[in-house]
Structure 1
Amino acid sequence: MWDKIINGRVALDMTREECRLALGAPREVDRGADNSYIREVWLYENGIYLVFEDGILKLYRH
């Protein structure tokens, strides 16, 4: 994962901290509960968004 972090990239199953190291702090964070997990969506000014389920990256648009 460090190779991705150093190059400013993310990958599925990264943690929130790994994604923050790779991309920096998001512009906006939306949190909510979905069924049996906590969902968090990070939005960046350049159009990137990350979707976490229980703190693990499950979907992103880079």
Structure 2
Amino acid sequence: MRLLLIAVVASAACFTSAAKAECDWIEKAQSSDFAAVLDSVICLKDPAAAECDRTEAEASDFNGERERRIDALSMSNDSKQALRDGKIWVGANSEMACLAWGRPRSVNRTTTAHGVREQWVYGSGSYLYFDDGSLTAIQN
């Protein structure tokens, strides 16, 4: 059976230490040969997704880690399923964002008297905005 995937392309752009720590497991996948095709992927068995040339075992390893991280979160099963479906919401943290949308292309960080603000930049005009680690806005 061929594996299909939804790709979340990410570059090695600058990361804040907090964002980098939340997405370390994605970075490990990027250093493997699995990343030879894409920097970061979230593989799903979905007939509507683009075709993946990697083996099912490689995709299963990556998905297995993602599933373990989602299952370990203390939240409702509906919220866990939303992350699996690539959905994110205001109030989520950076780990949830990585699990739902993958690693951003870059992170713009602003430190103010009121705290730290981050803009996570994804492709296709999609952005996530965090204030002190909490998602405050979604733009797409």
Structure 1 stretches lacking a partner, 5+ long: none
CA–CA distance in structure 1, aligned partners of residues 82 and 137 of structure 2:
16
CA distance in 2 between partners of 1:7 and 1:43 (Å):
20
Give 1 or 2: higher helix fraction: 2
Aligned residue pair count: 62
Higher strand proportion: 1
Larger Rg: 2
Structure 2 residues not aligned, in runs of 5+? 1-78
Normalised TM-score (structure 1): 0.91
TM-score (structure 2 length as normaliser): 0.42
> Are 1:21 and 2:99 counterparts?
yes
Q: Which runs of 4+ in 1 moved over 2 A?
A: none
Amino acid at match of 1:20: C
- Specify the alignment match of 2:116 in structure 1: 38
Shift, 1:31, TM fit = 0.6
Q: Deviations over 1:15-62 (max 9, x none)?
A: 000000000000110011133111010010121100000000000113
